[in-house]
Amino acid sequence: MPSEKEIISEIEKIVGTYSYWTIGVTEDPERRKQEHGNPTPWHHWDAVLESSARNIEKYFLAKGMKGDVGGGNRPHYVYIFWK
C-alpha cells in the first residue's frame, strides 16, 4: 500500500489547479463516486489508516481543493475528482 507521501505525490502529478478539484475520504469509494454523480476524472487510493487518509485530505484542503471533512465512521480511502 502506498504511504501518505506517495499518495500526495501521485495526487500532485494529476492535479493542476487545486481549486478545480474536490477531495474527500470514504469507507466505500464506489458508493461515494455514485453519490457524486459518477464524475470523470475520478481517482482513489487506499491509505490503509483513517489517520493517513485524513492527513492527506487536510493537506489538500489547505492548498485550496474543494471538499469538507467527513467520510463516515472509518474512512481509509482518499478520492479526488474534477467536476
**For residue 71, is pLDDT > 80?**
no
User: pLDDT: is 72 or 26 the higher one?
Assistant: 26
Average pLDDT, the chain: 94
- Yes or no: say if 4 and 52 are a contact pair by the CB < 8 Å rule: yes
Q: pLDDT per residue over 19-53, tens digit each?
A: 999 999 999 999 999 999 999 999 999 999 999 99
What range defines the domain where residue 43 resides? Answer: 4-82
Question: What is the band of 83 on the pLDDT scale with cuts at 50, 70, 90?
Answer: confident
Q: Give the pLDDT score at 69.
A: 74
What residues contact residue 49 under an 8 Å CB cut-off, 6+ apart?
A: 76
pTM: 0.94
Q: For the chain, what is the domain count?
A: 1
Grid coordinates representing 41?
Answer: 476524472
Calpha distance 4→49 (Å, rounded): 10
What residues contact residue 59 under an 8 Å CB cut-off, 6+ apart?
A: 8
